[in-house]
Amino acid sequence: MDNSEITIKLTSDEALVLSDWLERVQMTDLSRLVDDPAAWAPIHKLAGTLDKALPRIFAADYAERLDAARRRLKETMGSFAEEQDG
How confident is the model at residue 84, as a pLDDT?
61
What is the per-residue pLDDT for 72? 96
Task: Give pLDDT tens digits for 53-74.
Answer: 998 888 999 999 999 999 999 9
Q: Average pLDDT over the chain, rounded to whole?
A: 86
Q: What is the 3-state secondary structure (H, E, C) of the chain?
A: CCCCCCCCCCCHHHHHHHHHHHHHHHCCCHHHHCCCHHHHHHHHHHHHHHHHHCHHHHCCCHHHHHHHHHHHHHHHHCHHHHHHHC
pLDDT in tens, 32-49: 778 888 988 898 899 999
Question: Would you say the pTM of this structure is higher than 0.85?
Answer: no
